[in-house]
Homo-oligomer: A and B are copies of this chain.
Amino acid sequence: MEASSTLEQEAQALKHLTEKRNRGAPKTKITFRKLDIGDFDRGYYELLANLTVTGDVTRERFEEQFNFISPATSHTYKIIVGIDDEKDKVVCNGTLILEKKFARNCATCGHIEDIVVHPDYGKQGIGGDLLTALSEMGKINNCYKLILDCAEKLEPFYGRQGYKYKGIQMAKI
């Protein structure tokens, strides 16, 4: 379990980001926070289906995986969602995995995964705010860098968020 001060800093950063976004009178008010077990009923899988294959996950299996990962207190998984409070729906997801290394003075590397914004909520800057939230989680946890893999066509989007091309991703199934 993470030190409470780190968890408190994370909660504060998400609260500030939420307030900052909503002060701007956006088209949709969004609350950024960590994934909650109740998000299964807020359309979490309908959201993820816009990213990849989800499979037919039962509530029981979701809760089992949720309890294993423990997003509220995990020191490894920082899973950030955005909620459309009016509709009580999850409209975006982004995950930061904290990898502890032995190299670089035992540094922490942040891996960004599973970035998705529901297509009904596009063109509202939600993806950018989500990446800002993940960067804040990275800073609080002293990441020396954040890395992500994406399709070549997304290079301009992530470029605008401060990411630079580093190399290639390879996969084995």
Residues of A within 8 A of B (CB): 44-45, 48, 51-57, 61-62, 64-66, 68-69, 76-77, 97, 99-107, 109, 111, 113-114, 135, 144-152, 155, 158-159, 161-173
| Given A149-B149, A161-B172, also A52-B100 (CB < 8 A) | no
Interchain CB contact under 8 A, A169 and B169: yes
Q: Main SS of chain A's interface residues?
A: mixed
Copies per assembly:
2
| Given A111-B111, A173-B145, also A102-B167 (CB < 8 A) | no
Which residues of B lie under 8 Å from residue A48 when comparing CB positions? 102-103
Cα of A119 to Cα of B114 in the assembled complex, Å: 36
Which residues of B lie under 8 Å from residue A146 when comparing CB positions? 171-172
Cα of A151 to Cα of B166 in the assembled complex, Å: 8
Shortest distance between the CB of A79 and any CB in chain B (Å): 8
Nearest first, the 5 A-B pairs at minimum CB distance are A55-B105, A163-B170, A65-B106, A166-B171, A147-B171
